[in-house]
Structure 1
C-alpha cells in the first residue's frame, strides 16, 4: 500500500474473494458489507493500516449499516446504530471493514458455537475448538481472510482463541481503548476491546489508532528492545492445577529464550494465582438484562421461547438469585482479588504462563450445551483457561503468543502479563520473542495444508 504497488480496492477485492472461498467451510463471517467497504476503500487514506481489510466482532461495538446481534437469535434483524468510538477510529484510519465475525451469544463461552449462526471451524484442525468468545475473528485471521480483526476480552476472549488458532492476541489495559459512547464500561470493567493479529507489529499499529492521543506511540515504541526484566514464570494455576506436557514445554522454551536475552527469570514451583469464586460470572452476566430490556423495547415484546440459548437463561437465573447484593459483593471481591494479584507485580515486571492448560479442546467438550450445568461449564472452561481471568480482574495488559513446537501441529500459546498501563512493555517483550521464535512460518505451513483443503479452487 505505502509503495503504491497495490490499492485498497485491490486488497479489499482479494479479501472478499478469500472470505467467499473459505467461509463456507470455516463459518467465521456472519455479516457482510462488501458494497460499502469497496466504496470506502476507494477514498484516499494514509497511515500504517490504511486500506487493510478488517472485520468486526458481532458484540459490544455498534456499526452504522450493520446490526450488532450479540450472537443471539433475539437480536437478529435488530437496527444498526451509529458507529461506536473504536469503529469510527478504525474507519478514520482507513481500515476497510468488510463484515462481522461469529461469536457465542453475549460473548459468554470459551467456544464459538451460537445457535443463531452455528459453529466456527478451526482452520488448523476441524476437530478442535477455535475457542471463544472471539472465535470467528481468530478463524478469519488465521485462515488468511484478513490480517487482523476486532476481538474482545473479559475473561480471556482474545487470548484463548489466539492460542487455539496460533495467533498473537493482545488484551490492553482496561480502559485504554474506548467502550463509548454506548457503554461507560463493560462487565464492570473486566472487558477490553482490541484485535487478533498474526504479528506484534499489527497489534501495536492498531493500538496507536484506538488508544487515543498522548497514550504513546506503540508502533514505533514496540521496536525498542526491552530493558533487562525480572520475570516470574509458572505452569501452575490456582487450586492445584498444572498445565499439560506441551504447555509446560512451551513455557520452558520461552524461559530459556528470555534468559538468553539477559532477563532474570524465576520459575515458580507453585501457583502465584489466587482462586476466583463464582462471583466472577455475575460481573459479566450483569450486562445482559440491560441489553435484553433495550432490545425488547425496540421490538415491543420480550424474547420468545428458543430466541435465547439455555446458557443465557441459566445465567440470568443465577443473576436473579444473587440479586443486587450479590453483584455488589462481586464488585468488592473483584477489587480485593485485584489488589492481592497485583502484589506479585511489585516484585516482578512480567508474569509468564501457558495461555491454556492443555491443547485446544475437542469439539463438543467445552460448551454449555455439551456439559448441561453451570457448575460443569465453569469447571471445564476455567480449567481449560485458568491463566486468563486474573488479567481481566486486575485490568492488566496480557498477550498470548504462538510458539511453534515440533510435537504439535498448532503452535502452543504462551502468555505474558504485566502491571496495568505497561502495555508497551508487553508489546516490546512480545516482539523480542517473535523475532526469536519466527512464528510467521507456522502460518505458511498451515495455509499450504489446511486452507487449500478447505478451498481447493
Structure 2
C-alpha cells in the first residue's frame, strides 16, 4: 500500500506535482497510489478500459521531462488520440485492433509536460452518444449513482476522476462531450476555443471544426495549466485560435471584473427542461450577481431547425467517412454488424447525403457562428444549464438501443445547450454548482467570446472560491 493512498484525493494535479518537486514523494509512489485506486475503484464504474502500467513505469525509468506536471499520472480517452504501440479503439469493435505507430501531437505535448500516461478511458462508439455504453467494453457507471450514466462521450474520463482514481484526465468535445460528463459527475470541464489544441498529425480538425480535445478536472487551475501545456498550432494546421495574452494559469485568481452575463434556460434544440436544471442555472446567476456581475435574460436567436440539420449532416458525413476508411484498411466493405444499431442508422443517413448537402451544412454552421459571435459582442458570458435533464439511467442512451425515439429525445436533452458552441467554436465550461434532489450533480455552463478562455478561467476560479466543490465527492 502506497503511503499516499490515504490522502491522495486531497491533491489536484498541480498539488501532486508540487509534492514531487519538493521530493516529498516520488513519481513511482504517485503512480503506485493511482494504480491502487484503479485496482479498487474501477471495477464498480468501468471507467478505465486499457491499463498501461508498464508504459507508465517505463516512462518514469527513462526519465521524465521537467514540465509542470512532472510525475503526475494521466489517462487518455480511447478516442481521437494515439499513443505509440497501443490500441485506440474509438469504442468500436471495428477499431478493436487499431494499433498506433506514432503519438498524436497532443499526446507528445502531454508527455513533455511530464505527465505519466497510465491507461485509457471508456467512450461510446465513435464518440457519437452523450452516454458511455459501448458494446465493446460495456457501460461506464456514474460514481454518484451506479445505475446512471456518467455522460459521454468522455464518460470514462469523468467517472475515473469523480471516483478518485486520479485528479484529471484527457477528454474530447464535439457536441458537449467534455461538459456533459463533467456535469454528470460533478467536475470542472472546459471546451477550449476551436483549434486551441492540435488535432494532428492525423487530422486538421474533427467534425468540421466542432470537436476539440482537452480535459476534465477537479480544479480550475489544473484545467488552465493543462491547456497551457498543450495549446498552440501544430505544423500544417489549417487554422488556429487567437493567441492568449498570458498563460492561462495566470488567469486563475485574477479579478474577472464586473461581467455582463446573459442567462437563458431555453435550449437551442426544442424540448422540456427539468426544473432542477433550470434552477441550477438561475442559482448560478444569483451567485454571479452576488459577486458583482450584471445578469439579464437573453439568448442568441438562430435558425434552430437549419442548424440542427446541419450538425447532423456534418457528424454523419464525418462518421461515415471514418468507418468506411477503417473498413477499407481492413480490406472489406463496412457492414451492419460491424457497428452498433444507432451508428449504422447514422451511416445509412451519411451515405444518402450529397456534396451539396455537406456544403449547405458548412454554410449554415458558419452563419450560426456569426450570430453567436455578434451576441457575445454585447455580453461577456452566456450562462445556461449544461444539460436539460439530470443524468439518465443507463440504457436510455445506449447506441444498441431498440428504442431510437427515446434515444433521440434523451440525446436532445443532453446536447441542447452545449452543441451550439461546438458549431460556433466558442469556449465554454461546465461548472459543478448544482445537485439534484436524487443526489446527482448538475453542471452549469458558461460560454465566452471566441479565444477568450481567460475570462472563463477567471470566472471559474471565482466561482470555485465562492462555492467550493473540492470536497463534494461521491461516497
Q: Do these two structures clear the TM 0.5 threshold for a shared fold by scoring above it? A: yes
2-side partners of 1:29 and 1:240: how far apart?
A: 34
Partner SS, residue 399 of structure 1 = strand
Alignment partner, residue 98 of structure 1: 118
Q: 1:272 to 1:50 in 2, by over 3 A?
A: farther
TM-score by length of 2: 0.89
Answer yes or no: is 1:328 the counterpart of 2:359. Answer: yes
Alignment-derived partner of residue 229 in structure 2: 209
Q: Alpha-carbon deviation of 1:296? A: 2.9
Superposed CA offset, 1:137-182 (max 9, x none): 1111111112111111010000001111111110000100000110
Q: CA deviation at 1:104?
A: 0.7
How far is 1:78 from its partner?
Answer: 1.9
Instruction: Tell me whether 72-81 or 198-207 shows the greater mean CA deviation.
Output: 72-81
Picking from 390, 394, 411, the partner of 1:363 is: 394
Question: Relative to structure 2, which stretch is displaced further, 361-370 or 35-44?
Answer: 361-370
Matching residue of 2:129:
109
Which moved further from structure 2: 413-422 or 247-256?
Answer: 247-256
* TM-score (norm: length of structure 1): 0.92
| Residue matched to 2:24 | 5
Identify if the C-alpha distance between structure 1 residues 240 and 279 changes in structure 2 by more than 3 Å, giving closer, same or farther: closer
**Contact kept? 1:41, 1:94, Cα under 8 Å:** no
Name stretches of at least 5 consecutive residues in structure 2 with no aligned partner. Answer: 1-19, 234-242
2:134 and 2:398 in contact (8 A); partners too: no
Q: Which of the numbers 65, 70, 73 marks the counterpart of 1:53? A: 73
> Which of these residues, 351, 371, 379, is aligned with residue 382 of structure 2?
351
Task: Tell me by how many angstroms 1:402 deviates.
Answer: 0.4
- What is the aligned residue count? 443
Give the alignment partner of residue 257 of structure 2, picking from 206, 224, 227: 227
Q: CA deviation at 1:72?
A: 0.6
Q: Which residue of 1 aligns with 2:312?
A: 281
SS in 1 for 2:117: strand
Distance in 1, Cα, partners of 2:152 & 2:423: 18
Deviation digits for residues 419-453 of structure 1 (CA, Å, limit 9, x no counterpart): 1100111111111101111111212xx2xx2xxxx
- Once residues 78 and 158 of structure 2 are traced to their aligned partners in structure 1, the CA distance between those partners, rounded to angstroms, is 13
Q: 1:455 — aligned with what?
A: none
Structure 1 residue 73: deviation in Å? 0.5
| Deviation digits for residues 13-64 of structure 1 (CA, Å, limit 9, x no counterpart) | 1111111112222111111111110121242433332211101011111110
Matched residue, 2:86: 66
Q: Does 2:35 align with 1:16?
A: yes
Relative to structure 1, the CA distance from residue 272 to residue 336 in structure 2 (aligned partners, 3 Å threshold; closer, same or farther) is closer
User: Structure 1 pair 8/264, CA: closer, same or farther in 2 (3 Å)?
Assistant: same
Distance in 1 (alpha carbons) for counterparts of 2:363 and 2:92: 31
SS of 1:106's partner is helix
Match of 2:349, SS?
helix
Give the direction of change, closer, same or farther, for the CA distance of 1:303–1:240 in structure 2 (3 Å limit). Answer: closer
Aligned to 1:452: none
In the other structure, the counterpart of 1:419 is 449
User: Structure 2: how far apart are the matches of 1:318 and 1:74?
Assistant: 19
Match 1:80 to one of 64, 83, 100: 100
Shift in alpha-carbon separation, 1:386–1:226, aligned structure 2, 3 A? same
Indicate how the Cα distance of structure 1 residues 354 and 325 shifts in structure 2: closer, same or farther if over 3 A, else same: same
Q: Secondary structure at the match of 2:389?
A: coil
The structure-2 alpha-carbon separation of the partners of 1:410 and 1:2, relative to structure 1 and needing over 3 Å to count, comes to: farther
Q: Which residue of 1 aligns with 2:371?
A: 340
| Per-residue deviation, 1:299 | 2.4
In angstroms, what is the RMSD of aligned CA positions? 1.9
Task: Give the drift of 1:136.
Answer: 0.6
> How far did residue 251 of structure 1 move?
1.6
- Counterpart of 2:218 (choices 192, 198, 203) is 198
CA distance in 1, matches of 2:332, 2:399: 27
